[in-house]
Structure 1
Amino acid sequence: MNNKRQFALRAAGLFCASLLLVACDKTPTPSKASDVSADTATQEWSKHGGGDAEQRFSPLRQITPENVDNLGLAWAFDLGVSRGIEATPLVVDGVIYVTATWNKVFALDAKTGALRWQFDPQVDRSKGADLCCDAVNRGVAYSDGKIITGTIDGRLVAVDAKTGTKLWDVITVDQSKPYTITGAPRIVNGKAIIGNGGAEYGVRGYVSAYDINNGEMLWRFYTVPGNPENGFENAAMAKAAETWKGEWWKYGGGGTAWDSMAYDPELDLLYVGVGNGSPWNQSIRSPGGGDNLYLSSIVALRPDTGEYVWHYQTTPGETWDYTATQHMILAELDIDGEPRKVIMQAPKNGFFYVIDRATGELLSAKNYVPVNWASHIDSETGRPVEIPEARWGSKAPYLQLPGPMGGHNWHPMSFNPASGLVYIPVLETPYIYANDEEFSYKEGRWNTGSDSAMGSLPSDLAQFKAVKVAVKGRLLAWDPVRQGPVWQVEHNSPWNGGVLSTAGGVVFQGNADAKLVAYRADNGERLWDFFAQTGIVAPPISYELDGEQYIAVASGWGGVFALVYGGLMPAASDPGVGRLMVFKLGGSAKLSELSKASIQKPTPPPSTADAITVAKGKQLYDSNCVVCHGDHVISSGLIPDLRWSPLLATAEAMQAVVLDGALSSRGMPAFKALLSKEDVGLLRAYIISAANDGLEAKLEIEK
C-alpha cells in the first residue's frame, strides 16, 4: 500500500501539466442546424427533455440578454426535504409537476405555485442501501391525463393528473435483488418505458415497456446476456454472449439503463443509453476480455416490440464505470454540406459522439475534456485507441481522467438549433484505478473490483491538495460539427446543474455555489444570477402562461459527489430545504430564510485502536458506508456526520443501528447479512480515529 501511495503522490503532482488536451477556439463558427422533433406545444414542457428529441431547448424568446437582468422570483414551493433534488419539472394545462426525495410527487398551479395535490408512493426506505448515489429521482412522465413515476424500490406508478389518485402500481424488478429506479419514464406510442439501476451491486440490466392504461408489461429488452444454459431471449442476446468470457452472469453483468432515452417518430426508433459493467474490473467480470455488449452503448430499439435494430458501443470492454447513460440529443446537422439526422452524446468516457441515428454509423468523435485512457477514436472502426497502461485490471495502478464521475455525468446538456451549439456541464475528477487483490464477490453489495483505498482521497495533506487542484467543473459550449469548444465558464466545483437554452439567446444553469445563472448563448457572458440558498443540480425548464415566459428549476444539493466528496471539497452551498423556484420578468417574490441548526460536535471517545485495526475499519467503511456518509467520514451535511454520532459511545448502540436496522424507517438499512459484530467494532474504531485526528483536523490546523 505504501508503494501505491507513493505512486499516487507522484502522479498527482504531474497531473495538471500532462492533460491539457482541450482548448477553446477563439474564432467560433457555429454550424447551421434545425430542430427536427422538438415539443411543438411551446407554452408547455410536457416531456422530460422538452420533446422526443431531448434537446432541452425552449423556442420561447421573451427573455433575452437585454432584459434578463430584470428576471425575478415569481414564486417558490418548499418540497420539505433536504436531500438531492434532480427532477425535471413538467408543465401541462397550467399545472407543474415535480418530484422530491423518495419519489413524492407534487402538482402545483404553474402561475401561482398553489398546491393542487401531492402523492406519496410510500417507498421502502430500506432500499437506500441499494442506492449508489443518493435517494434521488429525475422526475415523472405525462400521457393521456396520467402522471407516471418510477420509484426507488422498483415500481412504476400511475396517478390521475388532475387529482393525484393512484390508478395502477406495478413492480418492474425482482425486489429481492438490489435494483432501483432513479430515472424518469419516457412515453412512446402509449407505452411507458423505464430502465433501472444497481450495476455496482450485481444486477443484470434491462429496459421495459408498460401499457399506460393498466401497467401491463408489453416487452423487455435485456442489455447484457444471462446464463447461456438458460437460453437467450433473442438473437441480440446470443450475439452479445459471444463478446463475454468466463461466468459473467454470476456477477450480474451490469448494463443498467438508468437514465437517458430519446425517440425519433419518423424513424420509429427508441434510443436507450446503457450503463457500466458489474464489477467494473473487467478482468474479474469477463476474464480474457471481449467487448461485453451492450455495456456502455447506445442501443436502438423498435418501441412497439423492443426489437433490436442497431447499437454503437462507446467503450468496448468497459472497465472504468464509463456509462453511456448520459443525456442523448437528436438533431439535424449540416455535415460536409449534407443534412444528417444525428444522435449526439457526451458520455462519461470524455469523447463527444455524433452518430447517424438511422444506422448507428459514427460520423465524428473528439474528446471534450482531458482524456488519458485513449488517444482518439478511430474514424474507420469507431473504436477507441486505448493507452495500454489504462487497462488496470491486472496491471499497476493508473491515475486517470475521466474517473468514474465521468467527463459528463447525469446532468442534462442542451442543444440550441439557432447557435448550433451543445452546452455541456462537464467535470474533471481524477481517479486512481487499482486492482483489488483481495476482491471477493458479495451478493447485493458494492462490487467494483477496484481498490477502494486508492479511490479514496489521500490522507497526506500535500497529496490531498494536489488532487483538489485537479478537480474541476465548467459549462462548455461545444460545436458538434467542427467538434471543438467555442467558449467555457469555469465553476468552483465539478458538481453543477443541467442546462437549458432558449430561442431568446440565453443559457440557464444552476450550480454548486447555490446560484441559478444566465449566460449569453453565443459567448458565455454572465448576465444574471439568483442565490438559491442551496446547490442546484437539476436542469431548468421554460414555459409560457398568459403571455409571460417563466423559468423553473428545482433546488436541492445532493447526489453522489456531494455525498462522497462534498465534505472535503465543499462548494459555496450548504444543505438546505429543497424547493421548486419559478422566475419571470419583473418577479419580486423572496425566498424564506432558512433556519440553520448549528452542528453539534461532542467530544468523541478517545481513539485507542492500533493502526491495523483502524486500517481494517477503513476498508470496511470504504466498501459499505462511503457512498452515503462521505470520504474519510466527513459528511457534506446531507446525512448526519458519523464522527459526532452518539452511537459511538458504545458498541451495542452502533450494532443496534448497523446490524439490526433500528433506523431503517429513516433510510438507514440493516447490514446484518453483510457485517458481523466484529466488523461493526472495526468500523467504530475507524470512525473514532477519524473524529480525533482525521484529514479534516489536519486542514483545520493549517488554517
Structure 2
Amino acid sequence: MKRILLAATAICFSAGLAQADANLQKMMDDPNQWVIQTGDYKNQRYSKLEQINKDNVGDMQVAWTFSTGVLRGHEGSPLVIGDVMYVHTPFPNTVYALDLANEGKIIWKYEPKQDTNVIPVMCCDTVNRGVAYADGKILLHQADTKVVALDAKTGAEVWSVVNGDPSIGETNTATVMPVGDKVIVGISGGEFGVRGSVTAYNLADGSQAWRAYSMGPDSDILVDPEKTTHLGKPVGVDSGLNTWEGDQWKIGGGTTWGWYSYDAEENLIYYGTGNPSTWNPAQRPGDNRWSMTIMARDADTGMAKWFYQMTPHDEWDFDGINEMILTEQEVNGETRKLLTHFDRNGFGYTLDRVSGELLVAEKFDPVVNWATHVEMDKNSDQYGRPQVVAQYSTEQNGEDVNSTGICPAALGSKDQQPASFSPKSGLFYVPTNHVCMDYEPFRVSYTAGQPYVGATLSMYPAPDSHGGMGNFIAWDNIKGEIVWSLPEQFSVWSGALATAGDIVFYGTLEGYLKAVDSTTGEELYKFKTPSGIIGNVMTYTHGGKQYVAVLSGVGGWAGIGLAAGLTNPNDGLGAVGGYAALSDYTALGGQLTVFSLPN
C-alpha cells in the first residue's frame, strides 16, 4: 500500500509540474506580460504589441520613473506579471515588487545580505541580468552564487541553494532560465581559473538535478562519446580532456555567464561557454575543448546532443556566451529549425539546432581581421574552423610580444547585450561594438581566488571607419549579410527589442533610448535618460495601454571606468582607456524609465 501511495504522489507531483510548465508557456505567449528576461524561450526578444508603432512612436513620452538606489551598471530588464512589476539591481541584488495598479507602490523588497568581498572577484562590474518567474516564484541568482526562490506575492524566501564558491573566484552576473520542473543556472569566473558548468536545480525545492561541466572527463561534461556530435561526427572518448595539456582543464575556464534558450519540442537547452583560462595561449596548448562552444543539452538529464566549438584555442578572449536565438525559417526551399548566434569573435553563425549542422558563418562587422573566414568545406580537415591570420595571433613565438591592431577587441564585435528577431521582417537586430585592441600576453601562475588573466590590453575605435565605437545593425541570417547599419559614437551595450509595430528599440551608452524603423533603420524617436543604458528594452500593457521600459545606469565592461572610478587606461582589462570619453556624456545612475503614448 505504501508503494502505491508513493507512486500516486509522484504522479500527482509530476502532473502538477507539467501544469506549472504549461502555465508558464501560456504566460510567455501573452504579449501583455514579460515573465523571463528573454521574453520567451526562443530568445527572440520580440513583442506582438503594436499600439506603439512606427507611425506614432515619435509621440512617446515618459510615463513614470523609479530609482533603484544603486549606482553601478544596470543590465537586464524588469518583469511584468499581471499587475506587478519586478525590478532588480546590480550588487547587492535588491529585488522590488511594484504595484502597477497603485502608482508603482512597493509591495515588497528583498535585500540579500552578501559579503562585499565578492565585489573584487566579479569581472567587469557588479552587474546582474535579472530575475525570472516560474510556478509562483521569483528566481534570483545573486552575485555570491546563491540561487533564491522568492514567493512572488510576498517576497518570502521559499528555498535557496549555493551554486559556487566566491573564495575561488566563482560568482554570478547572469539570469536563470526555468524549464519544466527545473531552473537552469550558470557560473562566472573565467578570469579566476574557474571551470565552467551549467546546473539544473529542481524548481520545487532547490535540490540539484544535474550538473554539466564545460571540460573534463566524459562523466563530468555529460556526453556519450559515440552519440554526442561535433560538426556531425562523434566527439569520441575524453573529448573534454585530450586537447588540454596535463591538468590545465581543471582551471580551464569555459564559464557560462550568458543566456539560455530552449526548444520544447526537442527538449533541448542551448547556451555558449566562455574563454579558456588563462588569457595567455602559450600556457594552454591545444584546442581547449569545450571552451568557446555552443552546446545543446537534454533539459531533463543534461546529456549533450551536440557541440560546436567556434574559436578553438582562443587567443583573444572571444567568449562564446552570447545568446542563441531560435527561429523556424526557409533554407533552400525547406523550413528548418535554426539557431542564430552573434559571437564575440565577430562571426554571425546560423546552425540547424536539431543536428548542429553549420549553415552560415560570416562577419557581422567588416573590420574583423583576426581570421579571414570560417572554413565551410565539409571535406576539409579545417571544416568549421576560423582561419587565423598570423599577424593577429597573440601567440607570437612566445610571450611578452604585443600584437597590435586586432579587430575585434576582447569585448568582441558583440558582448552579452542581446539581439532581437522580428518574424515580420525576418531580420535580426544586433547591438555591436566597433572596437579593436593591442594584446600582450605574459606568464601567470594560478592561485585560487586570485586573477588568472595573463595579458595586458588596450582598446580603441576601429580605424578607417566612422570613428565611433559601435553600430546597430539589421542582419540577414540566411544570406549572412548586413541589411542596414547605424553608426554610434560608443558601443551599443543595450539589449534590443523588436515589436509588431514595425519598430526596434535600443539604448546607447550616452543614455538615449532610440526607436528605429525595423525595415529601413530610420530613426523615429530618441530620449536621453539620466545615465548610460546597458539594460535591455522590454514592453508590456497595463490597463489596456502599452508601455516600454528600460533600466539606465552606466557600467558593464564598456563603462567599468565610470562604474568603478578607474582611470588607468589599461584597467578594466583594457576598457578604461578605450571608453575614457564616455564620462563627457553621462554619469552614474540607477533608474527605471517607463514610456507610453500620451493620453
Shorter chain as denominator, the TM-score bin is 0.7 to 0.9
What is aligned with 1:408?
A: 414
After superposition, the Cα gap between the structure-2 partners of 1:390 and 1:52, relative to the gap in structure 1 and judged at 3 Å, is same
**Alignment match of 2:495 (pick from 482, 494, 498):** 498
Give 1:546 shift: 2.4
What is aligned with 1:279?
A: 278
Give 1:556 shift: 0.7
Q: AA paired with 1:414?
A: S
* 2:295 maps to 1:299: yes
**1: CA distance, partners of 2:87 / 2:97:** 7
CA deviations on 1:238-291 (whole Å, 9 max, x unpaired) are 2221222233135x100000011100001110112111111022220x23x2x2
CA deviations on 1:155-201 (whole Å, 9 max, x unpaired) are 10011101111111110113431100110000001211100100011
Kindly report which structure 2 residues correspond to 1:61-76, keeping only aligned pairs within 5 A, or say none: 61-76=50-65
Kindly report which structure 2 residues correspond to 1:579-618, keeping only aligned pairs within 5 A, or say none: 579-586=591-598
**Alignment match of 2:453 (pick from 448, 452, 467):** 448
Secondary structure of the 1:254 match is: coil
**Alignment match of 2:423 (pick from 417, 420, 442):** 417
Conserved 8 A contact 1:430-1:467:
no
What is aligned with 2:357?
A: 361
Secondary structure of the 2:255 match is: coil
After superposition, the Cα gap between the structure-2 partners of 1:467 and 1:418, relative to the gap in structure 1 and judged at 3 Å, is closer
Q: AA paired with 2:417?
A: H
**1: CA distance, partners of 2:57 / 2:539:** 14
After superposition, the Cα gap between the structure-2 partners of 1:457 and 1:542, relative to the gap in structure 1 and judged at 3 Å, is closer
Conserved 8 A contact 1:38-1:51:
no
Give 1:465 shift: 12
Greater CA drift, 115-124 or 143-152: 115-124
Kindly report which structure 2 residues correspond to 1:29-428, keeping only aligned pairs within 5 A, or say none: 39-102=28-91, 103-110=93-100, 112-225=103-216, 235=224, 238-249=238-249, 252-284=251-283, 286-287=284-285, 289=286, 291-369=287-365, 370-379=367-376, 380=378, 381-395=383-397, 396-399=401-404, 400-428=406-434
**2: CA distance, partners of 1:344 / 1:477:** 13
**2: CA distance, partners of 1:221 / 1:46:** 26
Secondary structure of the 1:550 match is: strand
**2: CA distance, partners of 1:157 / 1:185:** 11
Give 1:224 shift: 1.3
Give 1:303 shift: 0.7
Count of aligned pairs between the two proteins: 537
TM-score computed with the length of structure 1 as normaliser: 0.73
Q: AA paired with 1:350?
A: G
Secondary structure of the 1:577 match is: coil
After superposition, the Cα gap between the structure-2 partners of 1:196 and 1:75, relative to the gap in structure 1 and judged at 3 Å, is same
**2: CA distance, partners of 1:347 / 1:559:** 18
Give 1:202 shift: 1.0
Conserved 8 A contact 2:27-2:33:
no
Unaligned residue ranges in structure 1 (runs of 5+): 1-35, 459-463, 588-703
Kindly report which structure 2 residues correspond to 1:553-702, keeping only aligned pairs within 5 A, or say none: 553-563=550-560, 564=572, 565=575, 568-570=580-582, 573-586=585-598
CA deviations on 1:505-553 (whole Å, 9 max, x unpaired) are 0110111121111111111111111120211111111112222111111
**2: CA distance, partners of 1:487 / 1:37:** 34
Give 1:561 shift: 1.5
**1: CA distance, partners of 2:482 / 2:411:** 21
Give 1:294 shift: 1.1
Give 1:456 shift: 3.5
Give 1:472 shift: 1.3
Kindly report which structure 2 residues correspond to 1:493-572, keeping only aligned pairs within 5 A, or say none: 493-563=490-560, 564=572, 565=575, 568-570=580-582
Conserved 8 A contact 2:221-2:240:
no
Give 1:114 shift: 2.1
Give 1:316 shift: 1.3
Whose helix proportion is higher, 1 or 2?
Answer: 1
Conserved 8 A contact 1:72-1:585:
yes
Secondary structure of the 1:283 match is: helix
CA deviations on 1:640-675 (whole Å, 9 max, x unpaired) are xxxxxxxxxxxxxxxxxxxxxxxxxxxxxxxxxxxx
Question: Following superposition, which runs of at least 4 residues in structure 1 exceed 6 angstroms of deviation?
Answer: 230-233, 464-469
**2: CA distance, partners of 1:467 / 1:484:** 20
RMSD (Å) for aligned C-alpha atoms: 2.3
Conserved 8 A contact 2:436-2:459:
no
After superposition, the Cα gap between the structure-2 partners of 1:376 and 1:468, relative to the gap in structure 1 and judged at 3 Å, is closer
Conserved 8 A contact 2:491-2:508:
no
Conserved 8 A contact 1:427-1:472:
yes
Secondary structure of the 1:569 match is: helix
**2: CA distance, partners of 1:38 / 1:212:** 17
What is aligned with 2:230?
A: none
Conserved 8 A contact 1:157-1:169:
yes
Unaligned residue ranges in structure 2 (runs of 5+): 1-24, 226-236, 561-571
Q: AA paired with 1:383?
A: R
After superposition, the Cα gap between the structure-2 partners of 1:572 and 1:412, relative to the gap in structure 1 and judged at 3 Å, is farther
After superposition, the Cα gap between the structure-2 partners of 1:499 and 1:37, relative to the gap in structure 1 and judged at 3 Å, is farther
After superposition, the Cα gap between the structure-2 partners of 1:393 and 1:498, relative to the gap in structure 1 and judged at 3 Å, is same
Whose strand proportion is higher, 1 or 2?
Answer: 2
Give 1:37 shift: 11
**2: CA distance, partners of 1:65 / 1:495:** 21
TM-score computed with the length of structure 2 as normaliser: 0.86
